[in-house]
Structure 1
Amino acid sequence: MPMETNLIADITYVDAPAGPPVALPTLPPTVLTSRLRRGLLTGLFHLVEARLLWRFMRTPARVRLAIERVNELKRVYYGELRVRKIARVAGRYYREYQTPGWPGAAYDAYVATTVNRLVPFRGDAETLNLVFLAITKKCPLACEHCFEWDALNQKESLTRDDIRAMVAAFQARHVTQIFFSGGEPMLRVNDLVAVVADARPGTDFWVITSGFNFTRENAGRLRQAGFTGVTISLDHHEPARHNAFRGSPQAYENAVRAAAHAHEAGLVVNLSLCATQEFTTEANLMAYARLARQLGVTFIQILEPRAVGHYAGKPVDLSPAQLTLLEAFYVALNFGPQYLDWPLVHYYGYHQRRMGCGGAADRFLYVDTDGDLHACPFCQKKSGSALGGNLDEALAAMKNRGCHAFAGATM
């Protein structure tokens, strides 16, 4: 099948004007506000996971061992913090951005993989949970931090059949979340819809977008095809600053409209923030959180800037004080009693510094726009291909090397 026709010519905005004022909708929250309901659902999650453990372990002794090791994993991951926040979207419940929603085959498969790495029961060593799959080199923006900068707007490599084959290969290896990225993946929305409509159950599919081409119609098409959610890049609560960061006078409006369309369609909405040195202040973080709450989103994802791609060779690392501030924000928004009805915050750096990196095919990996495998989007070094060759050998070699920057003790 031929690749979808490009929707745009190659565009680069150098000095992006602020653009017109953007009307912000106020959308219903997805994070549950009822304390009673949260308590009942927390109990239900315990029952569901106990049932799954019995199905996997088969004997009381193995069930007890699995419970002990799962609880230890939670202690390492959360410390003394206790997860209480739960969101509901389209009849499914979510507690973590990188965990599938329940009920669903993807949630059961995620629990199976997690338990299997602690108390093996299914005869394989697969631990890969999620894949970031870049499907296009094309993008209308010129983002300040773009990690695919050197590949942007080059000739496309991947056909629809290539994407379909990679999805099938990762599904066969128990991958429970696939995030389509780019470039701007919504330029290939027809391919996204076709591939996910043909995929088998057991995986939650997401698209990572700037909001470009994320119309009401396309949001509905994604939902109907089987998509779970959308991650929308929004890097500032102030329109002019986001537009400048993204190199487009329409970037902020596109992102806000995409959030509204996704919310209406029943897709889970995650706002993704690159927390730059300039942005990372308490005032900006709280203003961003208030905006996310107004837009009714489920998750806020915080990414730390890395000196790769368009940032290569630049001193973009956050200061120790700024990292401490981001960690305090993560803890307050997720576990503070006054924020129980605010969006959940996903901050991978918080856990990465405590547990080591889960990339390099341990828990996740990145596939670039040529189908090549990398440890993660920010730690790119080709390690085989997801197309042709021996994928199992490539994954095993990548997992064996691990991540050189965060070689902590993972479980």
Structure 2
Amino acid sequence: MQATILPDLPYLDHPAPATTKASGPVTVPTLSPTMVASGLRRDVLNRCLTLVETGLTLHYLRSPSRIRQAGAEVQVLRQAYYGNLRVQKVAHVAGRYYREFQTPGWPSVAHARYVATTLHRLTPFRPDAHSLQMVFLAITKKCPLACAHCFEWDALNQREKLTLPDLRRMVAEFQSRHVTQILFSGGEPMLRVHDILDVLRTAQPGTDFWVFTSGFHFTRKNAQLLKHAGLTGVSISLDHHDPAQHNAFRGSPDAYQHAINAAQYAHEAGLVVALTVCATREFTTPENLMAYARLAKQLGVTFIHILEPRAVGHYAGQVVDLGAAELELLEEFYLKLNYSKDYLDWPIVHYYGYHQRRMGCSGAADRFLYVDTDGDMHACPFCQQKAGSALTGALDTSLAALKCNGCKAFAHAPI
């Protein structure tokens, strides 16, 4: 059935004009760290998590032959993903422990289900073939900003299509297929905060929910409401450590202040906090990367999420892809922050491009997919070629078509 078109929000008919002039000085708070600083405690926690995953393997697979096969496959997967590197960093937020952005925190039902799906794709033991673990769900076309890299630019501030029943239904459908992370984006998803609260309260256990926001409308009260309703974390777009540079990139004089406030309010509420940066050619220097990391550490965030710019949306027709020198700098930054002994109490860097170039793309319904503001499904936010709808028709058929089409730039992950 065709979704009902929602009325426009009159105060968001046009994005804010671009300007570099801030409305006032920004005070950056120093917030308590979430990273585990003690080496002994990190070692104990990592050993505990290994034991937990071993126990889950025994629980789900049961058969000795399946367990041996899964063990061998897991070793191959770890070697492909990490090489000779060893995950050491651990963060502690609201009673749960986190080592990677794409893995739900432990202990939780979501973490156990994530391990189950990972095992199932290596050594099938369930009657279905679902391996999808993460869904990016764009819930609104509305946004007060004019971000330079916006991949939904052509849809921005058009008439809404997705209703609250649509959101509930899509979440329920994906949860029934073992999805363990759903990330609300837009537009600016906080403009539908009441709908997000409703979806969180009616969702089934076993999924971690995140909001990807610019910080706009992410008030202290909304942070508390979202946490109490079941939100796990918030990823805040902050594209520069310098306020004027970030404000210009986002087309708003208050964008930096909103982002800093959101980080503080989310931290106070007990949400996991990530900062997401679009690493443009101009931004990607050793000085900027380390200044950004210091800012993230000061804000007590758990993750730094690095995005590479793509020539889609607002960037369509522009030469924005990073060169070899910038990619090398980002990879060096990723390795230093995550694996150097000097930075084990700094935020964890999540850099999907590092692994994508080595293992292939895990989008296109292999491990994750993107649902746009019309409910259409895509390989990822940057591969804008829809393959079916999450609202109409047989979802399993659309998921199979999306997986078959794959990623236009990277082959699927081999494992």
1:11 aligns with 2:14: yes
1:342-381 alignment, distance < 5 Å: 342-381=346-385
Residue-by-residue CA offset, 1:348-386 (whole Å, 9 max, x unaligned): 000000000011100100000010111100001111100
After superposition, the C-alpha distances for 1:280-303 in whole angstroms (9 at most, x for unaligned) are 000000000000000000000000
Corresponding residue number in structure 1 for 2:185: 181
The reply to whether residue 117 of structure 1 matches residue 121 of structure 2 is: yes
SS in 1 for 2:232: strand
AA aligned opposite 1:108 = A
Shift, 1:66, TM fit: 1.1
TM-score (norm 2): 0.97
- Is the aligned partner of 1:136 residue 2:140? yes
Aligned counterpart, 1:171: 175
Contact 2:8 2:159 in 1 (8 A): no
**Aligned to 1:64, which of 57, 64, 68?**
68
Are the counterparts in 2 of residues 13 and 248 from structure 1 also a CA contact under 8 Å? yes
Structure 2 residue 48 is matched with structure 1 residue 44: yes
1:212 aligned to 210, 216, 230, which one? Answer: 216
Task: Report deviation, 1:72.
Answer: 1.2
Equivalenced residue count is 411
Residue 201 to residue 5, structure 1, CA distance change in 2 (3 Å): farther
Distance 1:193 1:158, change over 3 A: same
Instruction: Structure 1: give runs of 5+ residues left out of the alignment.
Output: none
Distance 1:123 1:331 in 2: 39
Q: Which of residues 254, 257, 264 in structure 2 aligns to 1:250?
A: 254
Q: Offset at 1:61?
A: 3.0
| Structure 2 unmatched runs, 5+ | none
In 2: Cα distance, 1:3 partner to 1:396 partner: 30
**Which residue number in structure 1 is paired with residue 304 of structure 2?**
300
Task: Provide closer, same or farther for how the CA distance between residues 181 and 40 of structure 1 changes in structure 2, counting only shifts above 3 A.
Answer: same
Tell me the residue number matched to 2:83. Answer: 79
8 Å Cα contact 2:5-2:159 kept in structure 1: no
CA distance in 1, matches of 2:251, 2:392: 37
Q: SS at 1:227's partner residue?
A: coil
Q: 1:202 offset after TM fit, Å?
A: 0.6
RMSD, aligned CA = 1.4
**Residue 319 of structure 1 corresponds to which residue in structure 2?**
323
Contact 1:18–1:239 (Cα < 8 Å) also in 2: no
Aligned residue type for 1:356: G
Matched, 1:236 2:245: no
The answer to whether the Cα contact below 8 Å between 1:2 and 1:160 also exists between their aligned partners in 2 is: no
1:23 is paired with a residue of what secondary structure?
coil
Q: d(CA) in 1 for partners of 2:191 and 2:17? A: 21
Compute the displacement of 1:237 (Å): 0.1
Aligned counterpart, 1:222: 226
**Structure 1 position 13, deviation (Å):** 3.1
Relative to structure 1, is the Cα distance of residues 69 and 353 closer, same or farther in structure 2, using a 3 angstrom cutoff? same
* Distance across 1 between alignment mates of 2:220 and 2:10: 17
Judge conservation of contact 1:3–1:160 (CA < 8 Å) in 2.
no
| 1:28 aligns with one of 25, 32, 38 | 32
> Is the CA contact 1:232–1:255 (under 8 Å) kept in the aligned structure 2?
yes
Q: What's the counterpart of residue 334 of structure 1?
A: 338
Task: Please report how far the alpha carbon of residue 26 of structure 1 lies from its aligned counterpart in structure 2 after TM superposition.
Answer: 0.1
8 Å CA contact 2:101, 2:350 repeated in 1: yes
**Percent of counterpart pairs with the same letter?**
65
Q: 1:99 aligns to what SS in structure 2?
A: coil
2-side partners of 1:218 and 1:8: how far apart? 20
Residue 20 of structure 2 aligns with an amino acid whose one-letter code is P
> Does the 8 Å contact 1:87/1:93 carry over to 2?
yes
Write the letter of the residue equivalent to 1:129: Q
CA 1:71–1:8 in structure 2 vs 1: closer, same or farther (change >3 Å)?
farther
Using the TM superposition, give the Cα deviation of residue 4 of structure 1 relative to its aligned residue in structure 2, in angstroms: 9.5
2:406 and 2:412 in contact (8 A); partners too:
no
Aligned residue in 1 for 2:281: 277
- The separation in 1 between residues aligned to 2:152 and 2:8, in whole angstroms, is 21
The answer to whether the Cα contact below 8 Å between 2:238 and 2:259 also exists between their aligned partners in 1 is yes
Q: Which amino acid aligns with 1:93?
A: Y
SS at match of 2:264: helix
For 2:80 and 2:7, locate their aligned partners in 1 and report how far apart those are by CA, in whole Å.
Answer: 45
Deviation per CA, 1:59-85: give whole Å up to 9, x if none: 333212211111210110011100000
Question: Bigger shift: 12-21 or 154-163?
Answer: 12-21
Shift of 1:409: 4.6
- Is 1:105 aligned with 2:116? no
State whether residues 216 and 262 of structure 1, in contact with CA within 8 Å, keep that contact through their aligned partners in structure 2.
yes
* Residue number in structure 1 paired with 2:156: 152
